[in-house]
Amino acid sequence: MTVAIAKAIWLACVIAWWIIRYPHERRARTAAVARSGRDAGEWILLVVSLAGLGIVPMIFVFTGFPRIADRAFMPALAWAGIVPSLASLWLFYWTHRELGRNWSVSLEVRDQHRLVTSGVYRYVRHPMYSAFFLWAVAQGLLLPNWVAGLSGLIGFGILFWFRVGREERLMLETFGEEYRAYMARTARVVPWIY
Ligand code: SAH
């Protein structure tokens, strides 16, 4: 394992992630929105998360910037990074399949929105966010740079922190008791723990 290979693995995961998401992104453009929680704050969160998980590490992968934040490259860490990379891609695929047309990049309730509680949603109510956290961990293990390695955890952490409560309130307003009962029997992102 070398730095170049670790960077290539990260890049391959970005491409795989995009292939998984693209068809959902396309369909989401035409699916009618019944209620939207997409405000200025949501836009800022999306940009912060995109910067942390995408732009900052991409700049590092292609230019090595910021070199001052380089850390020693440890092959064992990079090898270990392959595990959360694959786990997150698999979870992305699975959550997108389960959510189907109910998915949105932001906070939105679709026309005829259906509450999904099956498959991986049986154990956690935000498994797609679990996938993003796994991705952020993989980024930290694969990229030997403190800024590029930690930006994903910080960027996505901010989005999660400010969004998850609002998302749950939106689901409660939409599905009432059904969502309250669902909340009572599920964890947020880590099965049985959080
Ligand atoms: N937080 C979820 C979904 C992320 S996509 C996860 O991590 O897997 C965000 C959109 O999903 C929001 O617009 C919300 O309306 C919708 N959503 C969240 N939980 C849902 C559920 N259990 N069933 C259907 N839609 C859901």
Q: Ligand 1: which residues within 6 Å by Cβ?
A: 95, 99, 102-104, 107-109, 115-116, 121, 125-129, 167, 171
**Residue to mutate, 25, 36, 103, ligand 1, most ligand atoms under 8 Å from C-beta:** 103
Tokens of 189: 């992102």
Instruction: Confirm whether 89 is domain-assigned.
Output: yes
Instruction: Confirm whether 40 is domain-assigned.
Output: yes
Instruction: Confirm whether 166 is domain-assigned.
Output: yes
The residue type at 194:
Y
Instruction: Confirm whether 49 is domain-assigned.
Output: yes
Domain that holds residue 22: 3-185
CA of 68 to the centre of ligand 1 (A): 39
Angle between helices 146-175 and 56-63 (to 10 degrees): 150
Contacts of 67 (CB under 8 A, 6+ apart): none
pTM passes above 0.95: yes
CA of 170 to the centre of ligand 1 (A): 10
For each of the chain's 194 residues, which pLDDT tens digit applies? 999 999 999 999 999 999 999 999 999 998 899 999 889 999 999 999 999 999 999 999 999 999 999 999 999 999 999 999 999 999 999 999 999 999 999 999 999 999 999 999 999 999 999 999 999 999 999 999 999 999 999 999 999 999 999 999 999 999 999 999 999 999 999 999 99
Instruction: Confirm whether 164 is domain-assigned.
Output: yes
d(CA 193, CA 191): 6
Cβ atoms of 115 and 179 closer than 8 Å: yes
CA of 103 to the centre of ligand 1 (A): 6
Tokens of 140: 């930290």
Instruction: Confirm whether 136 is domain-assigned.
Output: yes
| Residue of 124, 102, 105, 132 whose CA lies nearest to 193 | 124
Domain count, the chain: 1
pLDDT one-digit tens code per residue, 61-108: 999 999 999 999 999 999 999 999 999 999 999 999 999 999 999 999
Instruction: Confirm whether 82 is domain-assigned.
Output: yes
Instruction: Confirm whether 11 is domain-assigned.
Output: yes
Q: Which CATH number characterizes residue 41's domain?
A: 1.20.120.1630
d(CA 143, CA 70): 9
**Residue to mutate, 171, 174, 175, 194, ligand 1, most ligand atoms under 8 Å from C-beta:** 171
**Residue to mutate, 36, 90, 102, 194, ligand 1, most ligand atoms under 8 Å from C-beta:** 102
